[in-house]
């Protein structure tokens, strides 16, 4: 093989590598776009991404997927990392790709359904979760790894639990309280950790109160106490303690969940619409528009005050 031919091969290889790297690098960039229009008419734009750990994790997940395109785990994490950056439409597109490539993998429906909730597409979310429920039927449940690990680095949820939890939320957001009750009552939602107990109890309490079942509402928070080992869901825990009368309103740490809990409390406990409205307004003016409490508050506002 002569020197000229060898040089041509080397140049060709360098050209291929440069173009491959260029293509990969170009995919790293996420341009802000319209993620959704809220029920209140506000346009939510994806954020401008700054350099840092979250972007590095996204780049890593994307690179791993490009190198392992037949690995469903790689595609799931690519979508999850996009969503953590606030790019929900990108995540939905990736999960849709996953559904085409791996149609029997319930995880893609579970994650796409979650991001349909984020983007206020509740009917689509319910449809995805129903499909996921069919796919997990009679299969062994699996721990769902955390993308944003808690302080103890203990994954607290399972695939089945998250599917039932999120479809319960989607039903709640569409005011289908009977189906919401059935979903949140599924054993997999509150199967193991105290965090699971208080998160499901928070929603079940409100659902039962809206259905007029005061006894049922009291029963679901019966196990909640001050001695519980709460790792993540401190806000749900304090709300449940407040419902039980074990925590005063003045002692509550105010965040999105607290504002939503208080708004609901005054709506169905005291029929104090004016005070409830004040908490709803504070939530919708200052809260995170992608938090479940904010999204639920938005749906309530349309239902109660529009």
- Quick one: what percent of the chain has pLDDT higher than 90? 82
| Whole-number average pLDDT of the chain | 90
**What integer is the mean pLDDT of 64-73?**
97
166-225 pLDDT per residue, tens: 999 999 999 999 999 999 999 776 678 999 999 999 999 999 999 999 999 999 999 999
Q: pLDDT grade, residue 30 (50/70/90)?
A: confident
User: Which strand (E) or helix (H) includes residue 9?
Assistant: helix 3-28
Query: CA–CA separation, 194 vs 229, rounded Å?
Result: 6
223-275 pLDDT per residue, tens: 999 999 999 999 999 999 999 999 999 999 999 999 999 999 999 887 899 99
Contacts of 38 (CB under 8 A, 6+ apart): 44, 120, 289, 298
Q: Are 60 and 44 in contact (CB under 8 A)?
A: no
Nearest to 99 by CA among 135, 60, 61: 135
HSE-up (13 A, CA, CB side) for residue 85: 30
**What integer is the mean pLDDT of 138-151?**
90
Please report the pLDDT score of residue 306 as a whole number: 83
Query: CA–CA separation, 221 vs 140, rounded Å?
Result: 28
What structural domains and CATH numbers belong to the chain?
15-139 (1.25.40.10)
């Amino acid at each position: 093989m002569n020197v000229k031919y060898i040089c041509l091969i080397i140049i060709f290889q360098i050209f291929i590598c440069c173009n491959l790297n260029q293509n990969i690098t170009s995919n790293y960039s996420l341009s802000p776009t319209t993620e959704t229009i809220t029920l209140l008419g506000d346009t939510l734009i994806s954020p401008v991404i700054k350099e840092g750990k979250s972007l590095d994790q996204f780049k890593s997940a994307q690179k791993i997927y490009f190198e392992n395109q037949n690995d469903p785990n790689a595609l799931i994490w690519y979508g999850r990392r996009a969503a953590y950056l606030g790019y929900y439409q990108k995540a939905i597109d990736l999960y849709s790709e996953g559904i085409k490539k791996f149609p029997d993998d319930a995880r893609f429906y579970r994650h796409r359904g979650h991001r349909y909730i984020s983007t206020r597409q509740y009917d689509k979310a319910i449809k995805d979760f129903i499909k996921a429920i069919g796919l997990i039927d009679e299969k062994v449940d699996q721990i769902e790894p955390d993308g944003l690990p808690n302080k103890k680095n203990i994954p607290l949820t399972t695939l089945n639990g998250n599917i039932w939890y999120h479809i319960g939320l989607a039903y709640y957001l569409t005011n289908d309280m009977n189906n919401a009750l059935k979903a949140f009552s599924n054993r997999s939602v509150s199967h193991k950790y105290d965090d699971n107990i208080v998160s499901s109890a928070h929603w079940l309490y409100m659902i039962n109160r809206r259905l007029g079942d005061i006894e049922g509402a009291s029963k679901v928070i019966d196990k909640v106490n001050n001695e519980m080992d709460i790792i993540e869901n401190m806000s749900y825990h304090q709300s449940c303690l407040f419902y039980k009368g074990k925590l005063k309103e003045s002692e509550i740490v105010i965040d999105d969940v607290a504002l939503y809990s208080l708004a609901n409390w005054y709506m169905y406990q005291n029929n104090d619409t004016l005070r409830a409205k004040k908490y709803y307004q504070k939530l919708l003016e200052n809260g995170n528009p992608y938090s479940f409490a904010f999204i639920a508050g938005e749906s309530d506002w349309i239902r109660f005050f529009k």
